[in-house]
Structure 1
């Protein structure tokens, strides 16, 4: 595998196969404004303007270059019982040296920190957001240095 400095989606060497990159994911929430504030203030995701052709409360945020999360208000939303390390979760890269500050922000805003169940050669941790979603935060540099 080709090692590269991570600055966006990882593109494999040319194989003749069209490569797809991540565009956006959509999260349901009972409170769009609170979720948008949580993600912006803890993870630093930037609010974006959203299309005017959606007839429900929502918010768009930029997670990274060309990557978005779309929040949609669903009044009866309930998180999955399968939100876990070995279940459904969202994995994101973050600068490992900033983990202490990130963990502090997350806890201040109501997130529950969760220790990983399995060891890896790079630092990572999990958290449950106020909606009940589970996120995995991976030390970007450590991951790249230890992946082959």
Structure 2
């Protein structure tokens, strides 16, 4: 594939993520009451059970699993797993709310050039991981070519040094 720069597909933003659920109703409850998304109209021409939610400029499309009993479910919270991340205004408020809701989470801290980034990771009802962070304090520095490849090794070393603390609730 020919390497191109800029915006070859003329992308504008993330529109939605789509998640297969064991129970659409349970997932609606989670995304609405824990993360603050709200249900929106879904096209009536779909011939399968699901729901659309919207918030923070993105949509979440929930799709009912055809065989919920055979849906793989992750139980270990691993910050290096697939996840969606949300910025927050107060990490302390988020952590307090997760404890009140009795949601188990993992706390992680990343430091880069004197900037500390706090992260909290937890699962939705089907084991899909959510991250809440204050990552906006970390500068976005574009990389290209050989510089990007060499930095990946440096990033790997830094990830191995990051502090991870799991909070398990009764």
TM-score by length of 1: 0.72
- Report what 1:89 is aligned to: 83
Tell me, in whole angstroms, the C-alpha distance in 2 between the residues paired with 1:82 and 1:105. Answer: 21
- Report what 2:123 is aligned to: 128
**Structure 1, unaligned runs of 5 or more:** 1-14
Runs of 4+ in structure 1 deviating by more than 4 angstroms, as ranges, are 80-83
Tell which deviates more after alignment, 47-56 or 83-92.
83-92
State how many pairs are aligned: 126
1:62–1:105: structure 2 CA closer, same or farther, 3 Å change rule? Answer: farther
1:104: Cα distance to partner?
3.2
Give 1 or 2 for the bigger CA radius of gyration.
2
1:35 aligns with 2:27: yes
Tell me, in whole angstroms, the C-alpha distance in 1 between the residues paired with 2:18 and 2:100. Answer: 23
**Structure 2, unaligned runs of 5 or more:** 141-170
Counterpart contact for 2:37–2:54, Cα < 8 Å: yes
1:93: Cα distance to partner?
1.6
1:70 aligns with 2:61: yes
Tell me, in whole angstroms, the C-alpha distance in 2 between the residues paired with 1:104 and 1:82. Answer: 18
Tell me, in whole angstroms, the C-alpha distance in 1 between the residues paired with 2:17 and 2:101. Answer: 21
1:16: Cα distance to partner?
5.5
Tell me, in whole angstroms, the C-alpha distance in 2 between the residues paired with 1:130 and 1:16. Answer: 38
What do you get for the CA RMSD once the two structures are aligned? 2.4
